[in-house]
Amino acid sequence: MPEFQYKARGHRGDAIEGVIDAPSSDIAATRLIEGGLTPVDIHIAEEKSGLSADLSDLFPAKIELIDLIQFSRQMYSLMKAGVPILSALHGLAVNGRNRTLGRTLNGVIENLEAGRDLSSSLAQFPDVFSVFYVSLVRVGETSGRLDEVFRQLATYLDRELKTRKKVKSALRYPTFVLTAILAAITIINIFVIPAFAEVFKSLGGQLPLPTRILVAMSNATVNHWELLLLGAAVIFVGGHFYINSDAGRYKWHKLQLRLPMVGKVMYKATLARFSRLFALVLNAGVPIVTALSVIGRALNNEFIEERVLSMRDGIERGESVSRTASSTGIFDHLVLQMLEVGEESGTTGELLKDISDYYDDEVDYAIEKLSASIEPTLTIALACLVALLAAGVFLPMWDLYKVAL
């Protein structure tokens, strides 16, 4: 689709310049007008120089979570103000800072103009809009509360973004330390130990065990580095394919919840996400069976998804929500008790919102403790490494000193 450079005036008379994708200049002008702009000049965009054009095509701007949050908030404001969907999307596609998202929205607009509804149009771009996102939009279309759904999606995605940032912040220091340790081991194996090996050979006799370990590691690194790199590549590629298989992905997702220190954080974050999403879809008027189907795919964990879908099957058989949740074995006593109370009082949605707030606080507290929990483990590992290096290097030198005396 060709690109058109345009100059336009905003509703306050301010000058705006940009680029828009459109089949023709007339359609480009129509989209600018629908986006609340008054076109002044529209012409075919000049082709970029070879290198910049290739780079922009090969490395398009990535659509981040913050872009979806901003899009959801803007859609909420426009829907609440009574702006038609097509006009709202036209304006966001034209004025958005992320050109990749702008092109995606242009594709959504084309699907809308072809007669599809909004949820079906968004579903044509699964890399941008998840199954859960599309499902909630479909709920909003059905219930006539599309503006409220966009507001809830913005709140949910904003919470997800904050949690991710906190986890990355907690893991930043341990990652730096582990990288430094691996770099130190590599340098010692390649440069330091070979220099001492010649001195060790002159001693004769049996070298101490720590020294033999260091020399063996150094010889393997220096003499067989090609095999080591090949083995690491095979393990990485094989692990990647295994994790992407159905059986491997299920086992990996199950293992994630049992990892030391990190697993507990992921488990509580999953419970918080489940409670928040369950409350969101119930308050939107979605039937419980449909809600569980949507939520299971939105949790990004196939082990938990299987348990949630088993809840759906139990409810279809006529069992209560609390009973089916108890049979899954993944929910703690608090969630089960609140679900039971919610069923009796008819306030399941509100109680699930309270549960999600509780687990959000638990996740924040667990993330704050994560770095403090990892530091002692790293300290012990670093101390063991230093002790091995010290023993392997200085024990033979001590023997040499005694021989000299």
If you write DSSP's letter for every residue of 213-240 in order, what string do you get? HHHHHHHHHHHSHHHHHHHHHHHHHHHH
Shared domain check, 185 and 51: no
pLDDT digits (tens, 9 = 90+) for 137-192: 887 787 777 888 888 888 888 888 887 888 788 778 778 878 888 888 788 778 87
| Predicted TM-score (pTM) of this structure | 0.68
- Neighbouring residues of 298: CB distance < 8 A, sequence distance ≥ 6: 130, 131, 132, 135, 273, 277
Is residue 14's pLDDT more than 70? Answer: no
Give the mean model confidence (pLDDT) for residues 10-26: 69
* Angle, alpha carbons 109-113-118 (nearest 5°): 60
How many distinct structural domains can be found in the chain?
Answer: 3
The answer to whether 325 touches 336, Cβ cutoff 8 Å, is: yes
Q: Spell out a b/e string for 334-370, using b for 16 or more CB atoms within 10 Å of the CB, else e.
A: ebbebbbebeeeeebbebbbebbebbbebbeebbeeb
Range with the lowest mean pLDDT among 26-40, 82-96, 326-340? 26-40
pLDDT for 376 equals 80
Q: Which range is least confidently modeled, 69-78, 264-273, 284-293? A: 284-293
Residue 24 structural domain = 3-58
CATH number at residue 100: 1.20.81.30
pLDDT per position as a tens digit, 71-100: 999 999 888 888 888 888 888 887 777 888
Can you tell me which residue has the tokens 């299971």? 296
The tens digit of pLDDT for each residue in 38-73 reads 777 777 766 554 444 444 555 667 888 888 999 999
Spell out a b/e string for 95-126, using b for 16 or more CB atoms within 10 Å of the CB, else e: bbebbebbbbbbbbbebbeeeeebbbbbbebe
pLDDT higher than threshold 90 for residue 200: no
**Confidence class of residue 235 from pLDDT cuts 50, 70 and 90?**
very high
Residues shown for the chain: 405
Rg for the chain (alpha carbons), in Å?
29
Does an H or E element contain 297, and which? Answer: helix 288-298
132 & 280 share domain: no
Q: Which of 128-137, 361-370, 387-396 has the lowest mean pLDDT?
A: 387-396
Is residue 219's pLDDT more than 80? yes
**C-alpha 183: how far from chain center:** 28
At residue 50, the pLDDT reads 47
Please give the structure tokens belonging to residue 191.
């440069």
Considering 54-63, 216-225, 228-237, 388-397, the range whose residues carry the highest mean pLDDT is 228-237
Q: Are residues 381 and 242 in the same domain?
A: yes
234 and 161, same structural domain?
Answer: yes
Domain end residue (candidates: 122, 155, 188): 155
Residues 234 and 220 in one domain: yes
| Residue predicted with more confidence, 209 or 60 | 209
Q: Looking at the predicted structure, is the pLDDT value of residue 270 above 50?
A: yes
Mean pLDDT of 117-135: 86
Among 109, 130, 155, where does a domain finish?
155
User: Inter-axis angle of helices 99-113 and 85-95, to 10 degrees?
Assistant: 160
- How many angstroms separate the CA atoms of 350 and 364, rounded? 21
- Provide the mean pLDDT of the chain: 79
Q: Does 249 share its domain with 330?
A: yes
Of the three residues 133, 155, 177, the one that is the final residue of a domain is 155
Same domain, 328 and 270: yes
% the chain with pLDDT above 90: 3
Which residue type sits at 285?
G
> Do residues 234 and 382 share a domain?
yes
Each residue's pLDDT tens digit, 351-377: 888 888 888 888 888 877 777 777 787
Q: What's the pLDDT tens digit per position in 243-267?
A: 888 888 888 888 888 888 778 888 8
Clarify whether residues 210 and 325 are in a common domain. Answer: yes
The answer to whether 129 and 123 are in contact (CB under 8 A) is yes
- Taking 90 as the threshold, does the pLDDT of residue 234 lie above it? yes
The reported pLDDT for the residue numbered 52 is 47
* pLDDT of the residue at 80: 86
Same domain for 162 and 69: no
Question: Highest-confidence range of 6-10, 57-61, 126-130, 209-213, by mean pLDDT?
Answer: 126-130
Q: Are residues 89 and 192 in the same domain?
A: no
Shared-domain flag, residues 146 and 288 = no
